[in-house]
Amino acid sequence: MSTKNDGKGGRWLVPVTSVVGGLAMFLAVGLNGDWVLGSLLLGIMVVYAAVLLLFRRSESVALLGGDEGDERQRTLRLRASDFGFSVLAVFCVGGFVVDLARGGDGMPWAVICGVGGASFAGALIVLSRRG
């Protein structure tokens, strides 16, 4: 069991992924005629990538930027993921219920809830069997 910060995760992976994602949004929105919104989305992603690269001395920023970190930092990441997933689950179930109440068919909320719930249950089963 490693307790150490093994340096994996890559300094550039998340920032480059952010910029590539921004370019994809820029093209997707721009090709539909709204180049201003596309540029705005690209700008947001570029600024985010720049923050990740420029403020890596901050522990929070480094973790956001994909640093694997040591055992405590991995625990922080797991707890943050747990919190984020819980918020997302409440939001999706809420959206599903509101859509049904408005006479909708609950889509695409139902699919999102289903994928999230199935992923959670599946991971729990596999991890519990692995010990």
Partner 1 sequence: MRNDVRELRLTRGLSQGDLGKVLGVSRQTVNAIETGRYSPSLPLAITLARFFERAVEEVFHVDQE
Q: Closer to partner 1 at the Cβ: 4 or 130?
A: 4
Q: Closer to partner 1 at the Cβ: 39 or 73?
A: 73
Tokens of residue 81, six digits: 């993921």
Q: Closer to partner 1 at the Cβ: 41 or 62?
A: 62
Residues in contact with 52: Cβ distance below 8 Å, sequence separation at least 6, in sequence order: 14, 15, 18, 61, 64, 65
**Angstrom distances, CA of residue 73 to CA of 21, 41, 54, 59:** 26, 30, 20, 9
Return residues touching partner 1 (CB under 8 A): 1, 3-5, 59, 69-73, 75
Q: How far is the CB of 82 from partner 1 (least distance, A)?
A: 17
Q: End-to-end CA distance of the chain: give it in Å, rounded.
A: 14
